[in-house]
Each structure stands twice: as C-alpha cells, then as structure tokens.
C-alpha cells in the first residue's frame, strides 16, 4: 500500500560531545553533594560508557519522518512524523558554547508539557543546515498532504451527510 520511506540525510555528531558529557557529569557530581564520593568511579568508567554511547548515536531524516537512536545501557529509539513537527529550536549554554556545540530541540504538536521538547539532539554537525533540511522536508510533506484525494473524498462525504440532514429537516417542517 505505501512505499518504504527513503533516507534523505543521515546526520553526523560532533566528537566533542564525548568531552561535553564527561565534564557535564563532573559538574553535576560536584554540584550535588551526593555525587562527590562517587566521582572517582565516574572518572574511571565514564570514558568507556561515553564512547559506547557516542558510537550508537544515529539521526536520519527520511521522506516522512525524523528517526533518532541513542543509548548503550538504556537504548532509545524515536520516530517523529514530519507533519507533526511544529518547531526546531537551538539551545546553547555556557558549557555547550565552550565545546562549540548546540542542542537542536524538536517540538511536536502533541507535546504535553509547555516548553518541553519531544527530542533534543546534542552536537549535530552543521545543525543549522540540518534544521533547514528538516523544515523543508516537513513543508513538502504537509503540502502534499493537502493536495491528496482524501480531502476531496471527505468533502464529498460531508456534502452527502449535509444533504441528508437538510432533507430530514424539510420533512420535519412539512409535518408541522
């Protein structure tokens, strides 16, 4: 019935993400008093797990959706249909700027919490170009959806129902 979605672009991630995650973990450990005693264990194990995490990062723009995979211990895979994407925003903080990274936040129509993103992509290479590609493909998908035969079929069925309602109301009026 429908053809398989074609991959238009496969995003690559900046290797500086590994250093960012490492230092972010140290910062969180130091800020939280509970993390300070655990810091030596973090320092010993962090690079191994961060490298495995980085190896499993994937993001693909297809003809119909945006797919994202991540995780080493806890695997996450998310597919967001392009016609549901409302906004793509950039976020940069002091630590992100220090590493030359940014976060691309994907917000969809069904987001339940105000200001929450459905997907946050950290450290995509050429994030601005990727953002433009996603928005252009979203526009292609939404433009094609509006010109399909489904809309005309819905209009015809609506017209039939409205005609039946009109005829029924006329019969009721004639009986009174």
Residues with Cβ within 8 Å of residue 30, at least 6 apart in sequence: 36, 39
User: Measured between alpha carbons, how far is residue 136 from residues 90, 131, 140, 158 in Å?
Assistant: 17, 9, 6, 32
Q: What is the pLDDT of residues 66-79, one digit of tens each?
A: 999 998 889 999 99
The pTM score is: 0.71
Q: Is the pLDDT of residue 148 over 60?
A: no
Q: What is the pLDDT of residues 87-116, one digit of tens each?
A: 888 888 888 889 999 999 998 876 655 555
Residue 154: what pLDDT? 66
**Average confidence (pLDDT) over 122-150:** 83
Cβ atoms of 66 and 82 within 8 Å: the answer is yes
Q: For the chain, what percent of residues have pLDDT higher than 70? A: 88
Cβ atoms of 169 and 101 within 8 Å: the answer is no
DSSP letter at 124 equals B
Q: Is the pLDDT of residue 162 over 60?
A: yes
């Amino acid at each position: 019935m429908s053809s398989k979605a074609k991959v238009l672009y496969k995003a690559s991630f900046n290797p500086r993400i590994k250093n960012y995650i490492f230092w972010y973990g140290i910062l969180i450990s130091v800020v939280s008093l509970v993390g300070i005693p655990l810091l030596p264990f973090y320092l010993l194990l962090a690079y191994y797990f961060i490298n495995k995490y980085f190896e499993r990062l994937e993001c693909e723009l297809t003809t119909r959706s945006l797919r994202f995979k991540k995780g080493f211990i806890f695997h996450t895979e998310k597919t967001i249909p392009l016609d549901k994407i409302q906004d793509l925003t950039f976020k940069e903080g002091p630590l992100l700027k220090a590493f030359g990274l940014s976060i691309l936040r994907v917000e969809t129509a069904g987001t339940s919490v105000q200001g929450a993103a459905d997907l946050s992509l950290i450290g995509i290479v050429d994030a601005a170009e990727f953002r433009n590609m996603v928005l252009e493909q979203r526009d292609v998908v939404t433009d094609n959806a509006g010109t399909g035969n489904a809309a005309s079929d819905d209009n015809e069925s609506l017209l039939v129902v409205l005609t039946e309602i009109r005829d029924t109301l006329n019969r009721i009026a004639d009986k009174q």
